[in-house]
Amino acid sequence: MSTLLSVDKLEIRTPGRTLVSDISFSIAAGERIGLIGESGSGKSLTALAVLGLLPEAMRVGGSILLDGHQVIGARDRDLVPLRGASIAAVFQEPMTALDPLMRIGHQVGEVVRRRATRDGTACGREEVSQRVLALLERVALPEAHRIARAFPHEISGGQRQRAAIAMALACRPKLLIADEPTTALDVTTQMEILKLLEGLVRHEAMGLLFISHDLPVVASVATRALVMRHGRLIEEGPVATLFDQPSHPYTKSLVAAARAFDTALEMAP
């Protein structure tokens, strides 16, 4: 399988601190990878580096080859075409992706139109709105017509996250980055969205970099996982191996926490 993303010795620094160091990993086309670690371990910074969206004040070292393009040091205008075609992202807070003053259908439609233009198959209004409705239905939004006409504040948080996923899918990226996309949602909605995301990514053979601090959540969508701590990678491997034979004490503690939670659930009346 061809390599979609290759990160080599990534280092991220502010003038006073090294936040991320010596991170190397790769993602093959269609591969679903999890990135786990405690709060502040550098997961989001790693994701932002791959997207070329780190704050300007940060210094970045190493190499990030995305779909054959070097991201580190690239000018923003060279990265713009990559965003969308090669890579798209879903964040914890869907309002970071959605414009509060624009109807959902319009926002998803903009992405559909841009993608079609890029493919050289520019499509008319009617075709765009058909595709928007189809996308909203694919992310299992009920009453697609109503949602398309709604403003973000007129739908629920779970529905907003589905809309943000629809926008990311409309790009048809080769790699989707999902940074804690379900953390802000209740457990039932979280499970539904994880299942949906996993199914869609698998169906489209998209690569996935899925970020979470929760090992069982990562296990439900990824086949392989990377464990980060204090800005470094401390362990990686197939999810099943990490669960069954964690080698680093931190990974062991993650597995123990997940098992304790399972046991508590089983013992609940």
Ligand X SMILES: Nc1ncnc2c1ncn2[C@@H]1O[C@H](COP(=O)(O)OP(=O)(O)OP(=O)(O)O)[C@@H](O)[C@H]1O
Catalog residues that contact ligand X under the rule CB under 6 A: 14, 19, 37, 39-45, 55, 213
Strand partners, 212: 36
Q: Is the distance from CB of 59 to CB of 13 less than 8 angstroms?
A: yes
Least distance in angstroms from the C-beta of 44 to ligand X: 3
Least distance in angstroms from the C-beta of 194 to ligand X: 17
Whichever of 15 and 269 has its CB closer to ligand X, that residue is 15
Whichever of 113 and 229 has its CB closer to Mg ion, that residue is 229
The verdict on 183 binding Mg ion (CB under 5 A) reads no
The verdict on 44 binding Mg ion (CB under 5 A) reads yes
Phi-psi region of 241 (alpha: psi -120 to 50; beta: other; left: phi over 0): alpha
> 């926490």: which residue's tokens?
257
Binding segment for Mg ion (CB under 5 A), chosen from 6-14, 44-52, 159-167, 255-263, is 44-52
Residue 246 interacts with which of Mg ion, ligand X, none, CB < 5 to 8 Å by class: none
Beta-sheet pairing, 18-28 with 3-13: antiparallel
Least distance in angstroms from the C-beta of 227 to ligand X: 11
Report d(CA 161, CA 95) in Å as an integer: 8
Phi-psi region of 253 (alpha: psi -120 to 50; beta: other; left: phi over 0): alpha
Least distance in angstroms from the C-beta of 185 to Mg ion: 16
DSSP type of residue 26: E
Interacting residues with Mg ion (CB under 5 A): 44
